[in-house]
Amino acid sequence: MGAMTSRTIECWLTDMDGVLVHEGEAIPGAADFIAALREHERPFLVLTNNSIYTARDLAARLAHSGIDVPEEAIWTSALATATFLTEQVPNGSAYVIGEAGLTTAMHEAGYTLTESSPDYVVLGETRTYSFEAITKAIRLIKAGARFIATNPDTTGPSAEGPLPATGAVAAMITAATGRSPYYVGKPNPMMFRSALNRVEAHSETTAMIGDRMDTDVVAGIEAGLETFLVLTGSTAPEDVDHHPFRPTHVVDSVADLVDRV
């Protein structure tokens, strides 16, 4: 009893933006950290709430930044959503608003994409929302389709300023239908639980690294993981105490974790 003791860490889950990369540039130490995981053959996954890209796209983008992550080691909210829906209704049907990251994941999970009486309306991140598509989604939900969204983020970052994200579009659909979506991505701990299943890891021996208290750290705690907060993203050291929960560890950056692998 008493002080928190460090557990043996066999497996690592890490957030992507703010931990490994920032606006397309590698964060110092990120490439070495991933290289150490691969050298020691540690099971690991890189997680992102962004559902625009496929794992293959993201692997290519990370490689461009100098970080060598195999596509199999990337877990997006789109993949988590497709996995969740497959467990709920195998080989079901969905009307999907989203990009290749989501439509590919749904197809590969055995789903039929249709506008005709689908089991689900699934909303993901896109940069080309159409009034027509949103109208269709609203009518299908009104007619009884279940409403799912990949991630609750209301804005995403860009060099020019914030962009409206999935949660903001979901709010519009909610206002028109009176139905709120079930969000699969962080801070739903299901994002981490499905990641653990994917690499056949156990929560007691898995650590997660993130840059946000209100998504990464809280979801990590709820999934039973040892949590590392890095200060290279959206959280400043003084912000940590403004939350009623705390991470297991606070470190400056992922560079501090290379020797812990």
Active site positions, annotated: 15, 17
Name the maximum alpha-carbon separation found in the chain: 58
Least distance to Mg ion, CB of residue 13, Å: 12
* Structural contact between residues 81 and 61, judged by C-beta atoms closer than 8 angstroms: no
> 157: Cβ–Cβ under 8 A, 6 or more apart, which residues?
17, 23, 163
Residues 182-241 that bind Mg ion (CB under 5 A): 211, 233
Beta carbon nearer to Mg ion, 145 or 213: 213
Least distance to Mg ion, CB of residue 19, Å: 6
Beta carbon nearer to Mg ion, 143 or 245: 245
Q: Which residue is nearest to Mg ion (CB)?
A: 18
144: left (phi over 0), alpha (psi -120 to 50) or beta: left
* Structural contact between residues 74 and 61, judged by C-beta atoms closer than 8 angstroms: no
- Our finding on whether 153 is near Mg ion (CB under 5 A) is no
Specify burial of residue 100 (Cβ count, 10 A radius: 0-12, 13-18, 19+).
middle
Least distance to Mg ion, CB of residue 2, Å: 32
Indicate the SS3 state at residue 160.
coil
Beta carbon nearer to Mg ion, 21 or 148: 21
Residue of the chain from 14, 18, 165, 181 that contacts Mg ion (CB under 5 A): 18
Residue of the chain from 17, 99, 119, 153 that contacts Mg ion (CB under 5 A): 17
Least distance to Mg ion, CB of residue 18, Å: 4
Distance of alpha carbon 205 from the chain centroid: 20
Give the full edge-to-edge strand order of the sheet including 206-210.
74-76, 44-48, 11-15, 206-210, 226-230, 249-251
Q: Pick the stretch among 12-20, 116-124, 151-159, 251-259 that binds Mg ion (CB under 5 A).
A: 12-20
Least distance to Mg ion, CB of residue 77, Å: 12
> Rounded to an integer, what distance in angstroms lies between the CA atom of residue 225 and that of residue 209?
10
- Our finding on whether 15 is near Mg ion (CB under 5 A) is yes
Q: What is the DSSP string of 212-235?
A: -IIIIIHHHHHTT-EEEEESSSS-
How many binding residues for Mg ion (CB under 5 A)?
5
Residues that bind Mg ion (CB under 5 A): 15, 17-18, 211, 233
